Amino acid sequence: MLLTQAAGSGGGAAGFIMLVPYLLVFVVIWFFMIRPQQVRMKDHRAKVASVKPRDQVVTGGGIVGKVTRVDDDYVDVEIAQGVKIKVVKSTLSDVLQPGAKPAND
């Protein structure tokens, strides 16, 4: 009788020990993949939310232009002299540094 009780109580510990590798894998994935992605997304959202007129932006389609007007949901972007397009603010890919040269110039 004592032998069966001792074996039964050891089974719970063995089950926990089997879960330890899975928990370790989850922690590693969290710190090396999920957390950095969340930080990048938070930075991107802050950058897009702080866009203002005269900023140079890149749209999701790759169009580069200068912001002329900002609404809550939309941004007017001048892509050539006198050519303006209305872009959904959440589709902006990047806000470029002022005075930054394009890569191909």
Q: Are residues 34 and 68 in the same domain?
A: no
Asked if the structure places residue 78 within a domain, the reply is yes
Q: What is the mean pLDDT of the chain?
A: 85
Burial track 72-92 (b if 16+ CB lie within 10 A, e otherwise): eeebbbeeeeeeeeebebeeb
Domain termination site, one of 14, 35, 50? 50
pLDDT at 52: 92
What are 30-50's pLDDT values in tens digits? 889 999 999 999 999 999 999
Same domain, 60 and 89: yes
DSSP 1-61: -HHHHHHHHHHHHHHHHHHHHHHHHHHHHIIIIIHHHHHHHHHHHHHHHT--TT-EEEETT
Phi then psi dihedrals of residue 64, to 5 deg: -105, 135
- Asked if 1 and 46 sit in the same domain, the reply is yes
User: Tell me, what's the pLDDT at 97?
Assistant: 75
Let me know if residue 44 belongs to a domain. Answer: yes
Q: Could you tell me if residue 29 is inside a domain?
A: yes
pTM beyond 0.75: no
